[in-house]
Amino acid sequence: MHGLGRADPRRLLLLWGLVVAYFALNALTQFITSGTADLDQAEQLVLSQTLEWGYGAQPPLYTYLVRLAFSMFGLGLGPLLGIKVLLLSMTVGAMMTLAHRLGFSWHQQLLGVAGFVFIPQLIWESQRDLTHSVLATSLAAATLLQAARLADERSSSGYGALGLLIGLGLISKYNYAIFLAALLLAAGMVPAYRAWLADRRIAITALVALLVAAPHYSWLLFNPELATSGAHKFQAGAGDALSGLITAGMAALAFLTPLWIFSLLPLSVTSRSQLLAVARTGHGRFLLALLAAVALLVVVFVGFSQAQQVKDRWYQPLLFYLPWVIALFCGPTPGRRGRLYFAIAVFFALLVAILLPARTLLAEKLDRYSRPNLPYPALFDRLARSIDPPGYVLTESNLLAGNARLFFPHAEFRVPTYSVPMRTLAGAGILICSTPECEVKKFRDWLRHACGLDASTLTFAKLETPYLYAPSKTHAIYWARVNLASPCIMAAGIRGNLTGTVTRTDPKAGA
């Protein structure tokens, strides 16, 4: 495409190796700093107890990966962090491979990777605690790469690979479907891409995608309440279409800031004729068409649903490729401003690497505490040492359940948020809360309806210990032994009105 030609593959492999090492280092520093599972990590520790076609408001693929990782490497935070490193590295690797196919020079490859750093959702939130969005983004990047491959060279195996990626994408996160629709719409606008759409082997793609995604979407049909349990987050119908579109636009701007600001540096020296030349190429036209299709479909979705709450992370599987689009239009030799752009990205990347563990280490000095400061490892280790292993654990939140599961790996955990089909509970177990005597009404109601347990009759023991790296602040958990005389059924769609007997505990036990 450009006079300087494609970047040396060996240099690209080295660059990608540095990217992998960067993600791995950040995962390692967070692992060493705190043994507490963050919110999304704790959720996966809860959901991965069982293998289901669906788990609730999110598709099941990430949980499948977690369950596979636990079966191979054992239960712990290490496998969860390893999955994150793998997926983030795959996203960057897929885009670098696509850029190589598009004829990016070495300088353009550097700009593309640098632009990744300027999207906070990708460089910060994705390393901090996101799950499904990271997976969907990785699969969207792989799908985009495979679409470009088919535009250049078509084969039956290539169509099958595209179908596999689409099927996996559809069970990774639901907004992947918007990316897929935008991809197909954009392909129809560009002759080179339209040709592979018109090929009859596209039926292979459809068949493979259907086989992969059908079990989950069949489950979806029979469990609409569980599947749509997260729909309230969009606040659909709470306002008019215009206010929803303004919210969606502001979320997109938040997602792309500071990328669009810093990209003005290398783009400011790009001539109009150069921009037009790139836009006329098949791949350049396709990427621009993809951006336009994403914008159109977001407008249609928000307009029809009148969604009033669109968060910036929702755009992650839809706009992740924009840094490489910018690099494409910067030309093969971005010059001094391009080098400045890259240098600023390196600075921000190093800053993120420092701040990810520092936010936990310096919490007390900054008077800003995050979930990794919660002393769950110390609390649950003390509890595990003071009692016999329970058969089950009832908790009021995923955060408690996921962290407790690391210390009670053979117990079954139940929380009000997720009710997936598992075996019935009976016999000896424990109840754990982060509020005194489990005073949260919703949790008490759930205990009463699901197991016939009256939390007001329990006598709780209290465990308290200082926050990690903040000895002046303490955190407590409250627990009690329970013994269910009758089976407690907490499966999807099942509500029990079963009675249970309670074994009271000494308030000082285990303290």
Q: In angstroms, what CA-CA distances link 329 with 112, 324, 446?
A: 11, 9, 56
pLDDT at 494: 31
Residues above pLDDT 90, as percent of the chain: 70
State the DSSP H helix or E strand holding residue 285, giving kind and residue range, or none if neither.
helix 282-305
* Weakest mean pLDDT among 88-97, 120-129, 188-197, 501-510: 501-510
| pLDDT-based confidence at residue 501 (cuts at 50, 70, 90) | very low
Average the pLDDT over 460-470 and give the result. Answer: 96
* Nearest C-alpha neighbor of 454 from the set 469, 464, 443, 467: 443
Query: Of the candidates 109, 492, 122, 172, which has an alpha carbon nearest to the alpha carbon of residue 330?
Result: 109
Mean pLDDT of 421-444: 85
Q: Decide if pLDDT at 178 tops 90.
A: yes
**Cα angle vertex 321, ends 316, 325, to 5°?**
145
- Region 311-315: mean pLDDT is 91
pLDDT tens for residues 230-257? 655 655 556 677 888 888 999 999 999 9
pLDDT-derived band of residue 323, with 50, 70 and 90 as boundaries? very high
More confident residue, 317 or 241: 317
> Does the structure show a pLDDT above 50 at 207?
yes
Report the range of poorest mean pLDDT among 192-196, 295-299, 360-364, 475-479: 192-196
Question: Which region, left, alpha or beta, applies to residue 167 given φ > 0 means left and ψ of -120 to 50 means alpha?
Answer: alpha
Mean pLDDT value of segment 363-381: 95
Predicted confidence at residue 502, as pLDDT, reads 33
* Nearest-5° Cα angle at 379, 376 to 381: 100
Average pLDDT over residues 363-379: 95
- The per-residue pLDDT for 423 is 65
pLDDT of res. 505: 33
Contact present, 463 and 476 (Cβ < 8 Å)? yes
**In this structure, are strands 392-395 and 412-414 parallel, antiparallel, or unpaired?**
parallel
Contact indicator for 255, 312 with CB cutoff of 8 Å: yes
Structure tokens at 155: 């084969």
Separation CA 286–CA 189 (nearest Å): 8
Residue 497: the pLDDT is 28
Separation of CA 231 from chain center = 17
472: DSSP letter: E
Residue 372: is its pLDDT beyond 70? yes
Does residue 372 sit in helix, strand or coil? helix
pLDDT(511) > 60? no
Phi, psi of 503 (to 5 degrees): -100, 115
Return mean pLDDT, the chain. 88
C-alpha atoms less than 13 angstroms from C-alpha of 130 in its C-beta half-sphere: 25
Distance between CA 128 and CA 396 in Å, rounded? 23
Q: What is the pLDDT of residue 159?
A: 98
Q: What is the pLDDT of residue 282?
A: 77
What is the rounded CA–CA span in Å between residue 290 and residue 182?
6
pTM: 0.91
Q: What is the pLDDT of residue 237?
A: 58
How far CA 400 is from CA of 76, 327, 396, in Å, comes to: 15, 44, 7
Over range 303-321, report the average pLDDT. 88
Predicted pLDDT at 427? 79
Percent share of the chain, pLDDT over 70: 90
Select the more confidently predicted residue: 322 or 418.
322
Structure confidence at residue 1 (pLDDT): 40
Least confident of 44-48, 154-158, 331-335: 331-335
